[in-house]
Chain A
Amino acid sequence: MISIGFDDKERIGLRYVLDSLHPCSPFGQERVRKLRFYTPKERGALETELDNTDRAAASADVLKQVYDRIMTVLCQLKDIRGSLQRLRDGAVLDHVELFEIKGFLLRIADLRPLFDRMNEAAAIEELSFSDPEDALNVLDPEQTRSRGFYIPDSASEALRAIRAEKKRLEARLYEAPEAEKDAIRAERTRVCAEEETEERAIRAGMCKALLPFVPAMLADADAAGRLDFLIQKALFAVRYHCVRPAITETALELTGMINPELCDLLQEKGRAFVPVSIATDRGATVITGANMGGKSVAMKTVALNVLLFSAGFPVCAKRAKLPMFESVQMLFDDAQSMQSGLSGFGSEIVRFNEALNEVEKGYSLFLLDEFARGTNPDEGAAIVQAVTRCLNDANAISILATHYDGVAEFARVHYQIIGLRDIDPDAIRSELSVSGGDGVAVIARHMNYGLYRVEGKADCPKDALNICRMLSLKPEILERVEQAYKQ
Chain B
Amino acid sequence: MQAVFKDLTADVRTLSIVGMCKNAGKTTVLNRLLAESRGRVLGLTSIGRDGESTDIVTGTEKPGIYVSEGTLIATAKDMLDLSDITREIVHTTGIPTPLGEVIVVRAKSAGNVQLAGPSITSQLKGLSDLFFSLGAEQTIIDGALGRKSLGARAVADGVILCTGASYDMRMEKVVADTASIFRIMNLKKAEFVPAESDRPLNEVLREHGEALVPGALTDAAVVPLLKSGALKNARLVVKDPSKVLLSPDTLDKLAIRKVSLETVEAAKALCVTVNPVSAYGWKFDPDAFRRAMAAAVNVPVINVKEAAE
**A interface, CB within 8 angstroms of B:** 78, 94-96, 98-100, 103, 147-150, 163, 166-167, 170, 173-174, 189, 192, 195-196
Contacts and interface: CB of A to CB of B under 8 A. Distances in A.
B89 A149 contact: yes
B111 to A, nearest CB: 7
A418 B229 CA distance: 72
A100 B92 contact: yes
A96 B88 contact: no
B109 A150 contact: no
A361 to B, nearest CB: 44
A150 B88 contact: yes
A148 B103 CA distance: 11
Contacts of B90: 147-148
B106 interface: yes
B17 to A, nearest CB: 22
A170 B110 contact: yes
Which of A78, A147, A150 has the most chain B CB atoms inside 10 A of its CB? A150
Interface string B87-127: 11111100000000101001011110000000000000000
A78 B89 CA distance: 15
A interface: dominant SS: helix
B202 to A, nearest CB: 42
A96 B80 CA distance: 10
A192 B84 contact: yes
Interface residues of B, number: 20
B77 interface: yes
Which of B86, B87, B88, B91 has the most chain A CB atoms inside 10 A of its CB? B86
21 contacts: A78-B92, A94-B81, A96-B77, A96-B80, A103-B92, A147-B90, A147-B91, A148-B89, A148-B90, A148-B91, A149-B88, A150-B89, A163-B86, A166-B86, A166-B109, A170-B69, A170-B111, A173-B110, A192-B84, A192-B111, A195-B86
Nearest to A193: B84
Which of B77, B89, B90, B109 has the most chain A CB atoms inside 10 A of its CB? B89
Contact of A96 (B103, B108, B109, B110): B103
Contact of B89 (A99, A170, A195, A196): A99
A189 B82 CA distance: 12
A196 B111 CA distance: 13
Instruction: List 8 tightest A-B contacts by C-beta distance, closest first.
Output: A150-B88, A99-B89, A192-B84, A149-B89, A170-B110, A148-B90, A148-B88, A95-B89
Nearest to A78: B92
Contacts of B91: 147-148
A256 to B, nearest CB: 44
Contacts of B89: 95-96, 98-99, 148-150
Contact of B92 (A96, A163, A166): A96
B80 A150 contact: no
Given A149-B89, A167-B109, A170-B111, 4 more contacts: A78-B92, A96-B80, A98-B89, A149-B88
A162 B88 CA distance: 17
A98 B103 CA distance: 13
Interface string B183-226: 00000000000000000000000000000000000000000000
Contacts of B108: 150
A148 B106 contact: yes
B109 A170 contact: yes
A166 B109 CA distance: 8
B109 A163 contact: yes
A345 to B, nearest CB: 50
Contacts of A147: 90-91
A358 to B, nearest CB: 41
Contacts of B88: 148-150
Nearest to B77: A96
B92 A99 contact: yes
A189 B84 contact: yes
A170 B108 CA distance: 12
A189 B77 CA distance: 21
A95 B108 CA distance: 14
B8 to A, nearest CB: 23
Contacts of A103: 92
Contacts of B80: 95-96
B25 to A, nearest CB: 19
A257 B24 CA distance: 70
Contacts of B81: 94
Contacts of B109: 163, 166-167, 170
A103 B92 CA distance: 10
A174 B108 CA distance: 16
Contacts of A96: 77, 80, 89, 92, 101, 103
B55 to A, nearest CB: 20
Nearest to B100: A96
B250 to A, nearest CB: 48
Contacts of A98: 89
Contacts of B69: 170
B207 to A, nearest CB: 40
A364 B238 CA distance: 65
